[in-house]
Amino acid sequence: MIQINNFKLSQNEQFLFKIQKLQINNNNQIIALIGNNGVGKTSFAKAVAKLEHKFEGVLTNTFKTNYIEQKYFVNNNNMSGGEYSKTKILEAFMADGNFLILDEPTVNLDRNNFNFLIKKMKCFKGVILLITHDRELIQKTANEILEIEDNELKYYKTNFKSYIFEKENQAKQHNINIEKYKLTKKQLEKDITTTRINNHKKENGSRKLNASEKKLQGGSGKSSMSKKLGSLKTKLSKLDKVNDKYILNKKISFEFEQGLKRSEILYLNKYNFMINNHDKIALTGQNGSGKTTLMNLIYSQLSQLNNPLIKIGFLHQVMDHKLLNLSVKDFIDLKSYESRTIIRGYLSQFKYTDLMYLKKVRDLSEGEKVQLNLSAILSVPTNILLLDEPTNYLDLNSIIMLEFAIKKYEGTIIIVSHDQVFIENTCNKTLNLDLYKDK
């Protein structure tokens, strides 16, 4: 059993979140832990696994716990990313224990291995704490949801579908609150303008008053008007403070360049497949089928065209190791002045704090690294984007934002992703490399 009381978690002197009371019993449940990148999911997992002790409050864990952390699934040899992840999944479920923490286990998994993971999870005798941003995995496995939001851990004793329904209702109420705010603010601003006009009229009447009249009439009137004006301004100030929480939830958005004017861009002879302008193409296939290799080949072929109209952006699956020792600030300073401004704008929407700019890139969470890399790629005008596993480690809000951006993008996008929901929401064509294994 896990018992938590008056728990507070901070990192580098920055408060992350608190838990008033939480209890997890041994009843074969799968609990999904979700939240934006950088809110403390991995730090909490380490605390539960007794690998992190820098927290306030009481945390008791009597389970025999195995923690399979994010970097455990990161490939450091010549195997494909998905093949490597599968070997680690097998090791995780073979280990002795009744409480298993899986931190982003679906990274690079193909459909067969994804289904293999689900089967292993459902057969596990004990409790699984699942940290993931994969909506399909949560939907098919989790029966309870833990969410870190607004510096608190919230417990939803329901499945993902019911959780989404509840969040949608919250979003509707959120929109109602915004509309109420706008109407109230508009009325207050109108009242302030009217009061100022009336005040001005009293101070500049058509006839001049003598001292006695001013004392009897003007003084009290002016004082009353000033008090009313001050009261209205105070109300407006309080209203804006209340609205801060709505502004913080504003959706992130990316803007893109217009697409190319030509219709055909590149023909892949081996696959009898034409890449056209405006296409949103998903490259699919089992692990080891050559998706990343093909992406690199496409990039090489497009670059060799020497067409000044073609502007390519390439998000690689793994960040260049040479960049990991840079601070976030130094990483950004490598870019042009225009790009630096855009990157900082994106990162502020990802809720990057001033302290995070001083961090080494290697010390960022995996999701924060993807956000940084994605912001850098999208800061440069492009009309062809190559995205290799862009949703790896991204939080749900960032994935939804990326989906929205891809739909708006007027150029061509080629995506390698094992996130089936993401593909369905963004792509209009699919090239399945499994169909060409023997060619």
Please report the pLDDT score of residue 247 as a whole number. 34
pLDDT at 79 over 70: no
Domain 265-433 = CATH 3.30.950.10: no
pLDDT at 434 over 90: no
Six-digit token string for 35? 């939240």
Q: What is the pLDDT of residues 19-34, one digit of tens each?
A: 999 999 877 799 999 9
Instruction: Give the mean model confidence (pLDDT) for residues 106-125.
Output: 89
Instruction: Give the mean model confidence (pLDDT) for residues 403-429.
Output: 90
Question: Is 426 exposed, middle or buried, given 0-12, 13-18 or 19+ CB atoms closer than 10 A?
Answer: buried
Please report the pLDDT score of residue 174 as a whole number. 66
Question: Is 53 exposed, middle or buried, given 0-12, 13-18 or 19+ CB atoms closer than 10 A?
Answer: exposed
Residues 6 or more apart whose CB falls under 8 angstroms from that of 296 comprise: none
Provide the whole-model pTM. 0.62
- The whole-angstrom separation of Cα 405 and Cα 244 is 25
Query: Residue type for 112, please?
Result: N
Please report the pLDDT score of residue 238 as a whole number. 57
Per-residue b/e over 215-249, b at no fewer than 16 CB within 10 Å? eeeeeeeeeebeebbeebeeebeeeeeebeeeeee
- The whole-angstrom separation of Cα 87 and Cα 81 is 10
3-class DSSP assignment, residue 329: helix
pLDDT at 258 over 50: no
Please report the pLDDT score of residue 80 as a whole number. 66
3-class DSSP assignment, residue 325: coil
Please report the pLDDT score of residue 224 as a whole number. 61
Q: Which residue has the higher pLDDT, 254 or 412?
A: 412
What value does the CA radius of gyration of the chain take, rounded to a whole number of Å?
28
Instruction: Give the mean model confidence (pLDDT) for residues 101-113.
Output: 86
pLDDT at 58 over 90: yes
Query: What are the boundaries of each domain within the chain?
Result: 2-157, 265-433
pLDDT at 65 over 80: yes
* Banded pLDDT at 109 (limits 50, 70, 90): confident
pLDDT at 262 over 80: no
- The whole-angstrom separation of Cα 357 and Cα 367 is 15
pLDDT at 228 over 80: no
Domains 2-157 and 265-433 in one fold: yes
Q: What is the pLDDT of residues 353-377, one digit of tens each?
A: 888 899 999 988 888 999 999 999 8
3-class DSSP assignment, residue 314: strand
- The whole-angstrom separation of Cα 293 and Cα 120 is 30
Q: How far apart are the first and last CA of the chain?
A: 54
Please report the pLDDT score of residue 259 as a whole number. 40
In CATH terms, the superfamily for domain 2-157 is P-loop containing nucleotide triphosphate hydrolases (3.40.50.300)
What mean pLDDT is reported for the chain? 81
- The whole-angstrom separation of Cα 92 and Cα 265 is 45
Q: What is the pLDDT of residues 186-212, one digit of tens each?
A: 787 888 888 777 776 666 654 455 554
pLDDT at 309 over 60: yes
* Banded pLDDT at 310 (limits 50, 70, 90): confident
Instruction: Give the mean model confidence (pLDDT) for residues 47-64.
Output: 91
pLDDT at 348 over 50: yes
Please report the pLDDT score of residue 166 as a whole number. 83
pLDDT at 63 over 70: yes
* Banded pLDDT at 388 (limits 50, 70, 90): very high
Please report the pLDDT score of residue 256 as a whole number. 37
Please report the pLDDT score of residue 203 as a whole number. 64
Q: What H or E segment, with its residue span, contains residue 252?
A: none
* Banded pLDDT at 59 (limits 50, 70, 90): very high
